[in-house]
Amino acid sequence: MTHAKTAELLRKPELSNEDIVFLLGLRDPESCRLLQEAAFARTTELMGNCVYYRGLIELSNICTASCRYCGIRRENHDVKRYTMSKEEIVAAAVWAARSGYGSVCLQAGERRDEKFIAFIEECLIEIHKATVSSVLPQGVGVTLSLGEQTPETYRRWAKAAGCPESLRYLARFETSNPELFKVLHGARGDHEKQLEHRFRLLADLREAGYQTGTGVMIGIPGQTLEDLCRDIRTFQNLDVDMIGMGPYLMSEGGELQDFGQMDPEALMQLSLNMIAVTRLVMGPVNIAAATALQAIRDDGREIGIEYGANVVMPNLSPQQYRAGYQLYDNKPCLDDEPTQCASCLEKRIASRGRRVGWNMTGSSRRWLRRNGRPDEAEPAGGLRVGQNDAGRKTIWIRAG
């Protein structure tokens, strides 16, 4: 019986590769429920009851790379390109800090020119200046997702961000299978992607003081359960602090349409299994419930939380830019205002037995322990801390 074997594996202190492959392939509802309950309980034990918000600011869709799956790759000339102004970026970060989000994520296509590097540096300096308060003494936490850069650039941005306790960088390697990686990143030239570079940059980021995050796509055409198992082992070998994984979804603007994509229901379950098994193997890391889960099912992110995710990334990009930042098709919440998004999401999270970690910077506990820091205290239930327009005075407001 599959569920009897599942229960037996979930009692083991360590999972073998064979066990991982078995758990990733679960489809019957009873076994999936056992996996979900084990992952949720492990998350509560290791990470507490809070889900951390990272306010996502998609600051530019200009990209010099050409990942074949991506809707905003360089060769897609049908996309209207944009870059938010410094004022818009800082305003979105300040809104996040004042609304109780402990951190923001600045994301954009990949650019390595000095103009862009200096622009990001200026934005980070301004964000830090505008968000330091008694509630956030180092300012709002910052996660960068700005592609492959040089070690010097990582150091410049780290210094500008001014928040060494809550400074993070996300760089997904997408798949640890070199053949699949080539299929996804076939472009030639200066910006050709190589798997070894992705691994190297994670080491560079750690040296520069960042909490490091990586991740993969689930359900890439041709990907096997063994590939996904190797991805999890790679997370372990890289000793990463944060993981962001999403289902592989086709993009009209990409060039892989001929390969098709998995049946949505199977893709959803595989993605959830991957989150759960990653939680069981990796322990106290931050795992994001990807917005792409919501593109398959309206409550996709909440189910991701039930399966062991503890981070969500509400979109703070101004509405006029959102349609231009579609890495995959059917991206959800294109028309929602940030205020709508935050309260809708808070209710959705509460419906799954978790609460929002208002004003928590939400550092990975794996990182905190590696660096001899205590766990961050969870806020009192039902209340959150906000700031008035001066950005300094702390007031208490009732959440929801």
Contact residues toward ligand SF4 (CB under 6 A) are 63, 65-67, 70, 72-73, 109-110, 147, 327
Measured CA to CA, the distance from residue 282 to residue 280 in angstroms comes to 6
CB of 292 to ligand SF4, least distance (A): 13
| Cβ 318 to ligand SF4 shortest distance, Å | 19
- 141 touches 167 (CB < 8 A): yes
Give the integer Cα–Cα distance in Å for 226 and 217: 14
* Shortest Å distance, C-beta 397 to ligand SF4: 37
The total of other beta-carbon atoms located within 10 Å of residue 115's CB is 7
Shorter beta-carbon distance to ligand SF4: residue 72 or 256: 72
In which residue are the tokens 């530019």 written? Answer: 60
DSSP-derived pairing of the beta strands 394-398 and 383-387? antiparallel
CB nearer ligand SF4, residue 70 or residue 267: 70
Rounded (10°) angle between helices 2-10 and 29-47: 10
CB of 117 to ligand SF4, least distance (A): 16
Pick the closer one to ligand SF4 by CB: 74 or 206.
Answer: 74
Alpha helices by DSSP H, the chain: 2-10, 17-24, 29-47, 86-98, 114-131, 151-161, 178-184, 195-207, 225-238, 264-282, 291-296, 300-306, 319-322, 338-350, 365-370
For ligand SF4, the closer of residues 135 and 170 by Cβ is 170
- Of 70 and 142, nearer to ligand SF4 (C-beta) is 70
Rounded to whole angstroms, the maximal C-alpha distance in the chain is 62
d(CA 364, CA 47) in angstroms, rounded, equals: 9
State residue 165 phi and psi, 5-degree precision: -85, -15
Phi-psi region of 239 (alpha: psi -120 to 50; beta: other; left: phi over 0): left
**What is the nearest approach in angstroms of ligand SF4 to the Cβ of residue 200?**
16
Shortest Å, Cβ 197 to ligand SF4:
12
Write down the least CB distance from residue 76 to ligand SF4, Å. Answer: 9
For ligand SF4, the closer of residues 146 and 229 by Cβ is 146
Q: Six-digit token pair at 39? A: 């992952």
Q: Would you say 123 or 217 has its CB closer to ligand SF4?
A: 217
Residue in the block written with tokens 């008035």: 388
User: What whole-number distance in Å separates Cα of residue 215 and Cα of residue 243?
Assistant: 5
In the bound state with ligand SF4, the residue whose beta carbon lies nearer, of 103 and 107, is 107
Closer of 253 and 284 to ligand SF4 (Cβ)? 253
Contacts of 165 (CB under 8 A, 6+ apart): 138, 141, 361, 363, 373
User: How many CB atoms within 10 Å of residue 34?
Assistant: 20
Q: Which of 198, 348 has the CB closer to ligand SF4?
A: 198
Phi, psi of 317 (to 5 degrees): -65, 140
CB of 269 to ligand SF4, least distance (A): 25
The identity of residue 365, as a single letter, is: R
Report the alpha-carbon distance of residue 358 to residue 383 in Å, rounded: 8
Task: State the nearest-atom distance from the C-beta of 371 to ligand SF4, in Å.
Answer: 29
CB of 187 to ligand SF4, least distance (A): 8
